[in-house]
Amino acid sequence: MHAAHHWDRINGEAQCRLCPHACVIREGTTGRCGVRRLRQGMLSAEAYGYISSLAMDPIEKKPLFHVKPGTEILSVGSAGCNFRCSFCQNWTISQEHPPLSRLAPRQLIEEALEQGACGVAYTYNEPLINFEYLLDCARLARTRGLLNAVVTNGYIQPPPLAELLPLIDAWNIDIKSLRPEFYRRFCAAELAPVLETVTTVASAAHLEITHLVVTGGNDDLQQIAELVDWIAGLSSEIPLHLTRYYPQYRWEAPATDPELLCQARDLAKRKLAWVYLGNLGQGDDALHCPACNRLLVERRGYHTKSVSITEGKCPQCQRRIPGIF
Ligand code: SF4
């Protein structure tokens, strides 16, 4: 058993304080995420050291387009999620019980070094519910010169987030909608804590945002415009990935219309400097300087062909490019 952090004992039960659900957990049962169980009066982090997936991926696939373009990152996932998205694109590991294997933090970091990864990405299922494993791996990765990237729904309480912030170099946070009713209906969660996390992370680390455009859910330009306005209010420099949905899990509507995604991109580009489309196949996602239009990163799909950024700036006009290069 690995002791969980961030919980209180209340009348023989546990109240988990890791994410905003704040589950009250009876002896022998787990919270909503399925990986934090009360055992003999102690809250156990059940997923600690258990993984469902491990792969060397282009970092662009996370998606992180402004972090070490052209490198590969060792990507690790476990099981469980604190959301219940009916359109989940990774439901076999987030909502079911996938086969798991053991991988201690030290083994994960050795693997990343052996494979020449630029760092470790905590991804695939929701990594924040495996907080203790993420914390231990991230600390070790730091000591060995690897960067840490988290791909998340952003559903975490402020105290554990504050503990993670100094260790995580890059975040990709999924904002599913700017409407609270969408989060309640489709994800069984609340919007406000996600926006709080995004706001905190934006001022502390490199942040990119993903927005999955779900047919029959949030696929209208008015909703996307609301999201773009909110992000622009935080910073017009935050990269936004508008991603194509495919029918998965309990949502059978057809895949997102590519034409709608292109309209959404054009709309977003009026307010944000960096907007990309995702899950569309081998599209051309070249990165041009918004000030002088110089080609900065040439890529096709997830394959980066060339990078021309000097000390975080456009080599032609010296405009600052947000990210880690
Ligand atoms: S992390 Fe899990 S157990 Fe803890 S509050 Fe969130 S859903 Fe509940």
CB atoms within 10 A of CB 162: 12
* 21 Cβ inside 6 Å of ligand 1: yes
Residue 300 within any structural domain of the chain = no
pLDDT of residue 284: 61
* 240 Cβ inside 6 Å of ligand 1: no
* 36 Cβ inside 6 Å of ligand 1: yes
Does 70 lie in the same domain as 162? Answer: yes
Count: domains in the chain? 2
Residue 298 within any structural domain of the chain = no
Residue 293 within any structural domain of the chain = no
- What is the strand order of the sheet 24-25 is part of? 7-10, 13-16, 24-25
Determine which residue's CA is closest to atom 5 belonging to ligand 1: 22
Does 33 lie in the same domain as 89? Answer: no
Q: Average the pLDDT over each of 206-215, 267-276, 293-302 and give the range with the smallest value.
A: 293-302
Residue 309 within any structural domain of the chain = no
Question: Predicted confidence band at 141 (pLDDT cuts at 50, 70, 90)?
Answer: very high
What whole-number percentage of the chain has pLDDT above 70? 99
Q: How far apart are CA 312 and CA 309, in angstroms?
A: 6
Q: How far apart are CA 309 and CA 34, in angstroms?
A: 43
pLDDT of residue 283: 62
* 31 Cβ inside 6 Å of ligand 1: yes
Question: Predicted confidence band at 183 (pLDDT cuts at 50, 70, 90)?
Answer: very high
Residue 313 within any structural domain of the chain = no
User: Over the stretch 215-233, which tens digit does the pLDDT of each residue have?
Assistant: 999 999 999 999 999 999 9
Residue 98 within any structural domain of the chain = yes
Which residues span the domain enclosing 176?
A: 50-280
Angle between helices 105-114 and 131-143 (to 10 degrees): 40
Task: Please compute the mean of the pLDDT values over residues 124-128 and round it to a whole number.
Answer: 97
Ligand 1 mean position, distance from CA 133 (Å): 15
Q: In angstroms, how far is CA 118 from the centroid of its own chain? A: 17
User: Over the stretch 77-119, which tens digit does the pLDDT of each residue have?
Assistant: 999 999 999 999 888 888 888 999 999 999 999 999 999 999 9
Return the ∠ at Cα 49 (arms to 48 and 51), rounded to 5°.
105
CATH code at position 77:
3.20.20.70
Does 138 lie in the same domain as 82? Answer: yes
User: Which ligand 1 atom is at minimum distance from the Cα of 32?
Assistant: 7
Ligand 1 mean position, distance from CA 112 (Å): 29
* 32 Cβ inside 6 Å of ligand 1: yes
Does 172 lie in the same domain as 41? Answer: no
